[in-house]
Amino acid sequence: MSQATHFGFRDVPLDDKQRLVDDVFHSVARRYDLMNDLMSGGMHRAWKEALVAKLRPPKGERPWRLLDVAGGTGDISFRALKAAGTGAQATVADINGDMLAVGRERAAEQDFGGQIEFVEANAEALPFPDKHFDAVTIAFGIRNVPRIAQGLSEMHRVLKLGGRFLCLEFSQVDVPALEEIYNAFSFRVIPEIGRAVTGDAESYRYLVESIRRFPDRETFAGMMREAGFARADATPLSGGIVAIHSGWRL
């Protein structure tokens, strides 16, 4: 019998979780930003800017390598490169080829030259050397990694000593009145947005359920520590709707 995980509000065999994730993002790759805008009221842009501000990419010509895991269309990497100096390079790793294809097109349009590359890769088995990157980020992707602990371990492995890991992910709302509104929007409105834009309400209901099953901030900080990250902590944003999780390889 295959191992199962509580994914959303259904028991899904662990081996099937990646297939379910792939089904969602293959269908939405070219409308990914539109869906993010509709589902977050445009707030995903401010959250990503907060992530890059916390990352603090260096200015100037000093070499600096960023790995953005589950980076898909390149949104985080583009923001980081715009904030960084000419010595910065970004690698976008994603298991979904459709998302990467969109990212490559957008990179060509923005003329980043040789500063960015796109690599099809599984977060649980990253095809990069040990201690290779100065920073590793993952935005709204860690909850979709079937074996989260394995993904964290891999991201720690490829991070240089002294390097920083930042994870932007949905979290637990801290304001009771906001939580009621947020739940109603998530379970009633988001699936209907998915139906209207992609013809697929069920996939977006699954995404909402996956958010609710993600570990709370302290539990996830514990998982980061187990993977080897030091000084693991979290900064909630927008009343706890999302959080930026931070850790270092020391």
- Provide the 8-state DSSP code for 126: -
Q: For the chain, how many structural domains are there in total?
A: 1
Whether residue 206 is predicted with pLDDT greater than 80 in this model: the reply is no
**pLDDT in the model for residue 37:** 73
- Give the three-state DSSP class for 110: helix
User: Would you state the pLDDT for residue 5?
Assistant: 38
Domain span at 137: 4-248
Following CA atoms 148, 155, 102, 144 in sequence, which dihedral angle do they give, to the nearest 10 degrees?
Answer: 10
Express each pLDDT in 85-130 by its tens digit.
Answer: 999 999 999 999 988 999 999 999 988 878 999 999 999 999 999 9
Confidence (pLDDT) at 8: 40
Is the pLDDT at 190 greater than 90? The verdict is no
The token pair at 50 is 């907060």
The DSSP output letter for 85 is -
CA-angle at 234, arms to 81 and 44, nearest 5°: 50
The DSSP result for 130-195, as a single string, is TT-EEEEEEES-GGG-SSHHHHHHHHHHTEEEEEEEEEEEE-----HHHHHHHHHIIIIIHHHHHH
Contact 202, 196 (CB under 8 A): no
Split at pLDDT 50, 70, 90, the class of 16 is low
Q: Is the pLDDT of residue 13 over 70?
A: no
Domain with residue 107: its CATH number is 3.40.50.150
Distance CA 221, CA 246 (A): 9
